[in-house]
Amino acid sequence: MLTVTLLYNLLPLLLMISIIIFTRHMLLPIGLMALVEVIAFGITYFRLPSKNLLSIIWGNLVYGIIYTVIIYFLLNFTKEERPLQKLIFKTASIAIGVLAIVSAGGFLHSFLSVKPTWNSINKVYSKSNEAPTFKRGETPIALAPKTVINRVRKASSDIPHSQYYSISNQVQAQFFKNKPVYVVPVEYSGFWQMTKAGSIPGYFIIDATRQNATPHFVKRPYRYATSAYFNKDAARQIYRHSTSWLDLGSPQLEIDNAGKPYWVQTLYKSEFLSHRVNYKKLHVAVMNAQSGAVKIYSIKNMPKFIDEGITTAIANKLNTDFGKYKYGFWNFSKTGVMKPTGNGVEDGVTSVFNQNGTISYFTDFTTDKTGSDSALGYSMINARTGKLTFYRANNIMDSDGAKNNANQDYKAQQWKANMPILYNVNSRPTWVMTILDSTSAIRGYYYLDAADQSVYGTGSTPTSALDAFRQALVNSGAKIGNTDKATLKNIKGIVDRVTVVSNQNKVMFTLKNSKTIYTVNTSDYDFANLMRPNDKVSFKANIVAKKSIGNVAEFKDDNLR
């Protein structure tokens, strides 16, 4: 902290030394310098200003002007000292002018020369425009972070001396012992609570993909936290131990395989005399939340337990820079400009648990035209490496349109669609959303055809909503591909069990020696209401993993002829 403060005050310091050496004045220049240093140290300590060269030059400009103006009017120079006085303050004025020009040039350069930032992004344009395939029973649908926070707050009585603490709004996605989980930090309620408690007793962990999961409090006391004060503040501790690095976003809590908590923050080094981020040189600060020890790693060499070395704030900035600066700043026609919708649940992005044990950040892009709800594509950012994969989209709605469509269906209940993610269901781009009530409790799941808003399915669980959506696809006559190895089969057999679902105009049945459940739409085949066990039937059905999708076709019952 002291080093940064001194760097921000080099010009006032040099001016003070010049006055002491060449004039009879000493106490006033030193006293004023001490006052400026104290104020600057306080600002540095509490505000944690940027440590890049351009910011340091700007700081010297500001503090230099303040010190020069005050000392000029406070000091009384003798007649003999006035020539030196003029020389000293003329030199100081020239230095201030040079710093002002360099600062202005640096800020303009940072603002106008943005193409190098876009070039530094590790990006790939996917040749496929299909979303990741949704596989029944395999693709995890994560709990909405709002729901997680709501459940954790209800379990806050598990915290010892809970009156000293509150639950963080930060929800950290992570794989813990190869299982997708959310980690939720506990925070101090305030300064006096921190002084009384001394440490935070632990954190909460919850299964990220089990619908009825309950949070579990893990007793792992730690002293350093983002809610702590002074030298126990996690962000301040990392700032102190990364003097040559700049931070991007706030620290996030992750745990190793033993459950030990660490604060993780993305760092970078800016370009010379610029605030531009070079995404090729990102590093990660990892701080032991118990001891405060800080280590800095390159993205390639960080510990294996860290799943999100690229934090959500950085992912959001990556998306913004990627969509905005492909053709630089001087792109007045806005050719190729895309805007992230910002509908993600954390800093505008949504963490997605992948089957290979990695985490990606999802967001979709639209045009910057007001009122447009057409998706131009979407990105998946590897949360560990920062690699951005962009998938182009054609003739599908964006997440704003998807949420609006879902919300209309729950207008009376005032439930809201949350966490929209695009998947490929039977070769159809499909928005998958979680429906939450005003308390953030899960009320259901909503699958919406991204190319046809009239085709959707709902259910109380992800699988029931998926089945309803696949049924809606078949009923709509939409073209269904062979996703998940779906095949249209000619089937014959003897009816084993049958039930009539009169309020939904359908009959469900199974065949002997088969566990597959088939569905007949009685609006198409009204005689199916008369079907009985042991009837001999034949039909066509789409089969995926031994499960029938949608209604059967060309249904015949030989016993009803």
Sheet strands side by side (includes 442-449): 416-425, 428-436, 442-449, 456-459
The pLDDT of residue 479 is 52
pLDDT confidence of 555, banded at 50, 70, 90?
A: very high
Strands 416-425 and 388-392: unpaired
Compute, in degrees rounded to 10, the torsion defined by CA atoms 43, 48, 50, 55: 0
**Residue 534: what residue type?**
N
The pLDDT of residue 138 is 56
The pLDDT of residue 483 is 46
Q: What are the residue ranges spanned by the domains of the chain?
A: 2-112, 122-135+324-479, 145-309, 486-560
pLDDT confidence of 546, banded at 50, 70, 90?
A: low
Percent over 70 (pLDDT), the chain: 94
Q: How far apart are CA 399 and CA 421, in angstroms?
A: 8
Task: Say whether 403 sits in a helix, a strand or coil.
Answer: helix
* CA-based R_g, the chain, Å: 31
pLDDT (mean) for 414-418: 95
The pLDDT of residue 341 is 93
11 vs 24: which has the higher pLDDT: 11
Residue range 286-335, pLDDT digits in tens: 999 999 999 999 999 999 999 999 999 999 999 999 999 999 988 888 88
CB 51 within 8 Å of CB 243: yes
Residue with tokens 């002293």: 223
Under DSSP, the state recorded for 39 is H
**129, pLDDT greater than 70:** no
Query: Over the range 301-316, which residues count as b (16 or more CB within 10 Å of their CB) and which as e?
Result: ebeebbbbbbbbbbbb
Q: What is the mean pLDDT of the chain?
A: 90
Residue range 253-262, pLDDT digits in tens: 999 999 999 9
Q: How far apart are CA 26 and CA 23, in angstroms?
A: 8
Annotate 460-517 with three-state secondary structure: CCHHHHHHHHHHHHHHHCCCCCCHHHCEEEEEEEEEEEEEEEHHHCEEEEEECCCCCC
pLDDT (mean) for 450-478: 84
CATH number among 3.40.190.10, 2.120.10.30, 2.40.50.140, 2.60.40.10, domain 486-560: 2.40.50.140
The pLDDT of residue 427 is 75
What stretches of 155-246 show up as alpha helix (H) in DSSP? 191-197, 234-240
